[in-house]
Structure formats: C-alpha cells, structure tokens
Amino acid sequence: YYRWFEFSQWPQKYTGWIGVQSMPEFVECPEHEEYFLGPEGVSNYWLKRTGMDGWRTDVTPWMSEEFWRRFRRSVRAANPEAYLIAEEWTDASHYFVGDTFDATMNYRFAWALRGFFALDVLTVAEFEDRLANWLRDTPAPFQLSQTNLIDSHDTARALTMCGGDKRRFKQMIAFMMAYVGAPMICYGDEVGLEGDFAESARQSFRWEDGDTELQDYYRRILRFRKDSAPMRYGGVETLLVDERQRGYAFARHFGDEVVYGVFNASDSPAVVEITVESGVWSDALGLIEDVTAQAGRLKIALDARGAALLFKA
C-alpha cells in the first residue's frame, strides 16, 4: 500500500486530511483505483452484497473529478439506478454536468434557512437572494435531486441553532420538505435531538424519551410530500418577499396541481396575501382552517413563526 499514500518520512510521517494523521489522504494510482472501483472493488461489493441504493462520498473535492467520473461508471455498471451524493460545502456547480454525481449535500440551502429562520440575521430579500443564486447555479434536473438539509453530523443541530424554539425549527422543517430538492433528515432531528458542533451534535438517538409531537409533525409532512406531485417533481416560483412582516411564499407547480408554501418569520402574527386560483385551500400542516380565495387573492392568517402548506381542497 506504499503507493497509496504520500510519505514525508517512512513509515511514520504521511499526509493526512487537514493534518489529521488518522485520516490519511490517498494518492491516486492503479492499485488504489482497482481496490475501490474494480469489478470486485469496494464500491460494487457493497452495492451487490447489501442492495443499498447508492453512495455518499466524504470530503469529495480531495479526489480528482476524473476519479469520480470513473467511480460513477463503475457504480452504474453494477446498479444503473444508484444515487450518488457528494459532500460539498460551497458552490457545487462543477459536479452538475452529469458525469460524476447526481446530487450534493446542499449546505448553501442550509445556511440560508439557518440565517433566516433560526438566527434572524438575513432579511427576507437576502434570504431570497441566497435561494435564487443557488437555483441559478444549479440546472433544473439537479435542483430536484439535491439533498436539502438543515443540519448534519458536521454542524450544530438545527434545533440548537433555533435556541430550542420549536416554532422556528418547524418552519425550517416545513420549508425543507416543501422546497425544490430531496429532503435529507439528520438522524435524531425527528425526536428533537440537540447539540453544538461537533461531538454533542453526534450523540446517540433518543429511543425512549424522544419528542413524539415532533415525530408526528415529520410524519404528517412526509405523508403529504409522498402523495403530492408538486412537492416531489414541481419547479419553484417565489410569490412573496415581504420585508415589513418578514413574510415569504413560494409555489410548486406540476401539471394542473400546485402547492403554496407560506411563512411568517416574525415574532408577531401576520396576514399574508398571495395570488392563487379561486376555490378553497387546505393546510397540509393542519395549523389553520380552510381558506377561500376571493377574486384570485388568498389571505392567510399565520401565528408568529407560523407556516402553511396549502393545496386545493
């Protein structure tokens, strides 16, 4: 294995990721590639042995894009439907060509939601600008496959970032589930796991004393998302950027169906108004009564830090 690593002094000193010797960096060479990408290599072995659905690669930029192209070809030869996710914390557009990954961990999305809902450090316009920049940088097919997240094993827990305020946390959950992309739930969020980065955010799952009310909230949204074509396949259109009330709204369209996401990110109740089709609209979150559009306008009364996901009743 000597050729797999870069030694400065054999055998004790070698290059590690950001200097961490317990995580040595690989040097790309034929033997290394055969071990990971060969017909009986690591990538295919686990796909065939376990029937798993794909791979998420760690610190992806530390390997060359040519390596990841060969990785994709090897994995897809074993399973043409395998889902390949890259860890990338900044602009990931160089992976959106179709020859490496299907998605990346969408930390740009996470930072926007944290800044707007959890920390109140972004104005509504700045929040919209963050989302618009991500959409601009990401081709439409990859927008749908991106793994949208609000936290991970490498960050503080979202509920902790919200100061333990479940209203803010629920807004983040609803937005992540309703916006374009594939929601990624970090284990334990659904039972209210908290913790600062790093180790306290990686504590064990709370099997016995988890927050059952949060679990029910997750289940409700996930059931709705599973049955909603706009939530899974639709594009996204911003409808409202209201600085005065810290209101934000968007639409997800697919065919003749539409879902509206409406949010009040202020500490006061607010009436949010958007343009919709006529008829009666129901809230998938079950937090507000059915509302009827008048002359193509819909007024939604939201509690402080409230949200609604509206669909045609």
- In 3D space, the residue among 253, 302, 261 whose CA is nearest the CA of residue 173 turns out to be 261
Reply yes or no on whether 87 is catalytic. yes
Q: Determine the average pLDDT of the residues in 63-69.
A: 96
pLDDT in tens, 134-193: 999 999 999 999 999 999 999 999 999 999 999 999 999 999 999 999 999 999 999 999
Each domain of the chain, given as residue ranges in start order, spans 67-230, 236-312
CATH node for 236-312: 2.60.40.1180
Q: Is the backbone peptide bond immediately before 198 cis, with ω within 30 degrees of 0?
A: yes
Which of the following is catalytic: 87, 128, 151, 190?
87
pLDDT in tens, 197-249: 877 899 999 999 999 999 999 999 999 999 999 999 999 999 999 999 999 99
pLDDT score recorded for residue 178: 99
Which of the following is catalytic: 58, 120, 227, 267?
58
Whether 67-230 shares its CATH topology with 236-312 is answered no
CATH node for 67-230: 3.20.20.80
pLDDT in tens, 14-50: 999 999 989 999 999 999 999 999 999 999 999 999 9
Reply yes or no on whether 25 is catalytic. no
